[in-house]
Amino acid sequence: MSSFAPPVPRFGSEVRTTAVLAGPLVAGHVATGMIGLVDSMIAGRHGTTTLAAVSVGTAMFWLPIMIPMGTLMALPPSVSQLDGAGRRHEIGALFRQSLWLGLALGLLLFAFMTLSVHALAPLGIAESIRPGAAAFLHAIRWGVPALTLYYCLRYLSDGLHWTLPTMLFGFGGLLLLVPLGIVLTFGLYGFPELGAAGIGYASSVMLWAQVTCFALYLARARRFADLGLFSRFDPPRWGTIREMLRVGLPIGVTVAMEGGLFIATALLIGRLGEVPAAAHQIAINVAALCFMVPFGLAEATTVRVGHAIGGGLGAPGVRRAAFAGLALVLVTQSLTGIALLTGNGFIAGLYTGDATVAALAASLLLLAAAFQFPDGIQVLSAGALRGLKDTRVPMLLAALAYWGVGMALGAGLGLGLGWGPRGMWIGLIAGLTVAALLLGLRFLRSSRRLAGTPGTVTSGA
């Protein structure tokens, strides 16, 4: 038996590869985040009630969409492992099964969005907001199947180290959304004035345009020609779909738990009054924008770790890929932390002219600076674990950190002891710190248990 092992890339080379891979992913996430900004700006111009309706509808749309988004994240490490192992001929069949899974998840979510309007009253949404929120949800639900299919196309391309389309189609969608949203919302050029529903329909059209253009690109691009992605029709194969669900569903639950933590925090702070709610919204908006950088780096690290496994590089190659991502995260989080520490007052002033709100938001941005490192480390560790296809135990660790520590401590300090928004944010810092520690240790343990066969990882608790 040969003891030959492929050479492990130099650390500097690995860092450069990860940075190049992550750049378009970060830009793509920024483009996705800007969809909410564009929707809010158009709605705000139409009226306060429209803005409130779109805000409620957007929250009820994006929280459930996190589960299929995370579930389909099982595709990049699977594709990158096959590519690294020289088994590209198997990628097309896997991709076609992911389309079946994406379509099924999209239809389930379509049904959920149809029924979710009945939850507006029990959730205590103001009666004046409910009609607009319901109209927005009914309109945007038509784009849900397109979004889940889009994730399949995007994750395939990302898993093959080609992330530029993610950025281009992300910003291309914005170029369509802005004029179409204005026309349908305000009823220009002979179209009826649809208000909040107009923004929902514009978003649905944008999502179908994105997935159609991405599919045409994959079908015609030379770099994917050997994969035969659309060369034949494959019926659903439960074994392959079940494996994707086994790996991906815990990712989806984890992503939803983290997103749910921030949404629940916002709802609890909303009980404290308008000033705390407005200040929190400013701070969390800035923090979410900063998060796009480590999130993109984490996705790139998922691909690099999977490629190292598929290439048979063993624990040294896998850890080098993860530590390259970690080095980049530490650099970027240092920069954002410094920016928040030194410019917190200026940043808050860009959002509001209310001195009271700006002062509280500035103090919360100082706390946001404090969780830049743990937030970056925890999402990077989660990405590295996805590359190992280790997702079930990390899901439980994340639940403990986010909700057992973060939410419990935040609610206790913020509401129980009366510390207000600062107490809630201290809870967020604690939860993210515990998540960084637990997921980092989990990666070190899991990377030791690489199987002897290239391209696989041993399973276990």
The pLDDT tens digits along the chain (461 residues) read 444 455 656 788 888 888 888 888 888 878 877 777 677 678 767 776 777 777 778 777 877 888 898 899 889 888 888 888 888 888 999 999 999 999 999 999 999 989 988 888 887 777 777 888 899 999 999 999 999 999 999 999 988 888 888 889 988 988 999 999 999 999 998 888 888 899 999 999 999 999 999 999 999 999 899 888 998 889 999 999 998 998 888 888 888 888 778 777 776 776 676 677 777 767 877 888 888 889 889 988 988 898 888 887 788 888 899 999 999 999 999 999 999 999 888 888 876 677 887 888 888 899 989 889 999 999 999 999 988 888 889 999 999 999 999 889 988 988 888 888 888 889 989 999 999 999 999 999 888 877 444 444 444 44
434, 281, 419: which is closest to 371 by C-alpha?
A: 434
290, 18, 294, 35: which is closest to 150 by C-alpha?
A: 35
Length of the chain: 461
- pTM: predicted TM-score of the whole model, two decimal places: 0.80
For 262, 348, 372, the CA distances from 340, given in Å and listed in that order, are: 19, 10, 10
Query: What residues contact residue 258 under an 8 Å CB cut-off, 6+ apart?
Result: 398, 402
Q: What is the dihedral of CA 111, 112, 113, 114, to 10 degrees?
A: 50
Residue 42 and residue 203 in contact, taking contact as beta carbons nearer than 8 Å = no
299, 457, 302, 284: which is closest to 385 by C-alpha?
A: 302
Residues 272, 146: Cα–Cα separation, whole Å: 38
Q: Which two tokens stand for residue 18?
A: 């990860």
For 97, 133, 135, 137, 208, the CA distances from 142, given in Å and listed in that order, are: 22, 15, 12, 9, 9
Question: In degrees, to the nearest 5, what angle opens at C-alpha 411 toward C-alphas 298 and 123?
Answer: 90
Q: At what angle do helices 196-220 and 130-140 cross, to 10 degrees?
A: 20
4, 381, 377, 70: which is closest to 253 by C-alpha?
A: 70
Burial readout 388-412 (b: 16 or more C-beta within 10 A, e: otherwise) = bbbbbbbbebbbebbbebbbebbbe
pLDDT of residue 3: 45
Q: What are phi and psi of 457, to 5 degrees?
A: -135, 140
Q: Which two tokens stand for residue 160?
A: 């093959």
Residue 300 and residue 45 in contact, taking contact as beta carbons nearer than 8 Å = no
Residues 174, 154: Cα–Cα separation, whole Å: 17
pLDDT of residue 361: 84
Longest dimension (CA), the chain: 75
Residues 127, 294: Cα–Cα separation, whole Å: 39
Q: How many CB atoms lie within 10 A of CB 334?
A: 13
Residue 264 and residue 123 in contact, taking contact as beta carbons nearer than 8 Å = no
pLDDT of residue 9: 63
pLDDT of residue 274: 63
Residue 291 and residue 371 in contact, taking contact as beta carbons nearer than 8 Å = no
Which own/partner pairs from 372-375 qualify as long-range (CB within 8 Å, at least 24 positions apart)? 372/290, 372/333, 372/334, 372/336, 372/337, 372/340, 373/330, 373/333, 373/337, 373/436, 374/429, 374/432, 374/433, 374/435, 374/436, 375/291, 375/294, 375/333, 375/432, 375/436
pLDDT of residue 104: 95
268, 373, 261: which is closest to 326 by C-alpha?
A: 373
